[in-house]
Amino acid sequence: MCGIALSLGPEADPATFRRMLAVLAPRGEVTETRREAGLLAGTRRLRIVDRERAVQPWVSADERLLLCYNGEVFNHRELRAELTRLGHVFRSESDTEVVLTAFERWGEEAVRRLRGEYAFVVVERATGRAYLARDPLGVKPLYWSRMPGCLHLASEVKALVGHGAPVAEVPPGHHGWAEPGGHVRLRPYVDLLTLGDGLPVVDDPDEAALLVRAALTDSIRMRLDTDLTVGVVLSGGLDSSLALLHTRLLHPDCVAVTVGAPGSPDVAYARRLAADLGVPHEVIELRPRDIRLADVREAIRISELTEYGDIINAVVSVPIFRRLRELGVKVVLTGDGSDELFGGYPMYHQVGPERARRLFLHRIRNLCRTELQRVDRASMAHGVEARVPFLDLSVVELAMRLPLGLKLREGQEKWIVRRAFADVLPDYVRRRPKNPMSYSSGLHERARLYKPLFARLHRSFGYHLLDPVRRDFDSVLTRCGNDLDRAIADGLARPDYTVLEHARDLVGAARWNAAPVVRRLVGPRVTRRTPVG
């Protein structure tokens, strides 16, 4: 896992390149670079797989190709075995080398063989042309910005905004070629809209439960292939609890980390589960008043997010990964993606099946700029690699084949996941209803106080060169009766909240934050009695 930066073209400037790479310093432990005429490439590498030999930028044995790579390919051992049978000789045990060797062997088709979370750039050293690719769900990021005579590429927006030019994103599941200092031509190699087409619908509950259990267990198993301690971000909800249950079984060297206000549901459920499993548990207890403007500003700087609700979630997430860094944990599992796949949101169940599928696909396609962006930035800002087993492509494809009736049943969301793991989930976890992250931590309303400042803070970092802060799409969708087309049009017509809407929101947040103070002022006073001697 790394932060990568490249400057390609005759006007590539070493000073600009150094600044880009310096901005990405938190994403790794060591800085590794290669500088040639018209090619400046570097990584800030977090050493996880083959920690000593997986040096980047990686150059092919014939020195024709150069790779800058961010992420993990979890089937690299299988690919290495296949490539070895085809005559390739390897110099390391790294997945980095497997990615470049696969590209040498299969060209642009190689990306269809990779199972993982990645974004990478392969440069033809003789021509300066660059091949770009990003994983199907967009777990790992890649951005670019074009200047006269130079194309800049980087893992984060903050590394590119100093140029003052518009910033563009490599979309999830896309790949293609970029000319040095010229055009970037990308196309999809995975179409989420058609994923699972032609495969039979799985409508039998028993079969569906078996398939869900097998797919998710395998996805978690692959992400635990490390000799390092593994952390689990634990809210005590269904998804993170499943991640912890599997991790404890398959990789006992683990630790759970939870954030929340004292007495919050997340802290209570997580403490109970960690104790029941005998897993070391770090609880970051934050009182709402502990969240200050400086914390909000830092969360915005780190996360680069563009929706208000996501920014609030980032404020809550940052302390988790800060603590993991303090513990020396470099690999962590999260439960992100399950709600989108398995019907964890009310909107799926308030419309007909066809409209529900469109909403489902819309959320999946936008995860890259919402939950996944939050997880990537908050984790990598502290040198922690977050892995998301619910968003393995095999799990996503299976979810596409499940009817809505298996995702919501008997008034319970994610019913099929609960059914699939009913024999291993404690009853109190299996029956716990879905609760949004920042709300169940007890910290949402405090962060909400600062919402009127989010857009201005976002602009101060130059992030508007990619996208401005905008209204939460979920709130727009709700107001539009869950009509996706109408909500998209409404969002384009009025991107941000009005001053009046911000004022109403602020009043609501202020009332919530003032309530404890008022209770203390008007509550009954305890009279201290003087003992009679």
Q: What pLDDT, on the 0 to 100 scale, is given for residue 533? A: 39
Distance CA 266, CA 339 (A): 17
Q: What are the structural domain ranges in the chain? A: 2-190, 193-440
Query: Which three-class secondary structure state does DSSP give residue 293?
Result: helix
- Give me the residue label for tokens 């097998």: 214
Q: Which of 16-20, 40-44, 499-503 has the lowest mean pLDDT?
A: 499-503
pLDDT digits (tens, 9 = 90+) for 354-391: 888 888 889 999 999 999 999 999 999 999 999 999 99
Using an 8 Å Cβ cutoff, are 122 and 97 in contact?
no
Q: CATH classification of 2-190 is 3.60.20.10, yes or no? A: yes
pLDDT digits (tens, 9 = 90+) for 228-275: 999 999 999 999 999 999 999 999 999 999 999 999 999 999 999 999
Closest C-alpha to 117, from 469, 379, 329? 379
Summarize the confidence of residues 84-106 as an average pLDDT: 96
For residues 490, 495, 496, 500, the Cα torsion angle rounded to the nearest 10 degrees is: -40
- Which residue type, as a one-letter code, is found at position 501? E
Q: What pLDDT, on the 0 to 100 scale, is given for residue 196? A: 83
pLDDT digits (tens, 9 = 90+) for 390-445: 999 999 999 999 998 999 888 889 999 999 999 999 999 999 887 766 678 888 88
Do the bridges between strand 65-73 and strand 184-188 make them parallel or antiparallel, or are there none, so unpaired? Answer: unpaired
Q: Is 95 annotated as a binding residue?
A: yes
Q: Is 62 annotated as a binding residue?
A: no
What's phi and psi for 154, nearest 5 deg? -160, 165
Is it the case that residue 532 has pLDDT exceeding 50? no
Q: What pLDDT, on the 0 to 100 scale, is given for residue 518? A: 60
Closest C-alpha to 137, from 3, 338, 379, 281? 338
pLDDT digits (tens, 9 = 90+) for 8-17: 999 999 999 9
What share of the chain in percent tops pLDDT 90?
80
Q: Which residue has the higher pLDDT, 180 or 137?
A: 137
Using an 8 Å Cβ cutoff, are 167 and 143 in contact?
yes
Tokens of 229: 């301690």
Is it the case that residue 168 has pLDDT exceeding 80? yes
Tokens of 318: 């940052």
Query: Which three-class secondary structure state does DSSP give residue 2?
Result: strand
User: pLDDT grade, residue 525 (50/70/90)?
Assistant: low
Number of neighbours of residue 339 by Cβ within 10 angstroms: 22
pLDDT digits (tens, 9 = 90+) for 188-220: 999 888 888 889 999 999 999 999 999 999 999
- Give me the residue label for tokens 């009954």: 524
In terms of Cβ atoms closer than 10 Å to its own Cβ (0-12, 13-18, 19+), residue 140 is buried
Q: What pLDDT, on the 0 to 100 scale, is given for residue 324? A: 97
Number of neighbours of residue 206 by Cβ within 10 angstroms: 8
Report, in this order, helix, strand and coil percent for the chain, each rounded to 5: 50, 20, 35
What share of the chain in percent tops pLDDT 70?
96
Is it the case that residue 531 has pLDDT exceeding 50? no
Is it the case that residue 519 has pLDDT exceeding 80? no
Do the bridges between strand 385-387 and strand 331-333 make them parallel or antiparallel, or are there none, so unpaired? Answer: parallel
Tokens of 342: 């398995």
Do the bridges between strand 331-333 and strand 230-233 make them parallel or antiparallel, or are there none, so unpaired? Answer: parallel
Using an 8 Å Cβ cutoff, are 5 and 17 in contact?
yes
User: What is the set of active-site residues?
Assistant: 2
Number of neighbours of residue 248 by Cβ within 10 angstroms: 18
Q: What pLDDT, on the 0 to 100 scale, is given for residue 377? A: 98
Q: What pLDDT, on the 0 to 100 scale, is given for residue 161? A: 96
Using an 8 Å Cβ cutoff, are 340 and 239 in contact?
no
User: pLDDT grade, residue 180 (50/70/90)?
Assistant: confident
Is it the case that residue 528 has pLDDT exceeding 70? no
User: Domain 193-440 belongs to what architecture?
Assistant: 3-Layer(aba) Sandwich (3.40)
Q: How many residues does the chain have?
A: 533
CB contact set of 75 (below 8 Å; sequence gap of 6+): 113, 114, 115, 116, 222
Q: Which residue has the higher pLDDT, 518 or 1?
A: 1
pLDDT digits (tens, 9 = 90+) for 23-63: 999 999 999 999 999 999 999 999 988 888 888 999 999 99
Using an 8 Å Cβ cutoff, are 157 and 456 in contact?
no
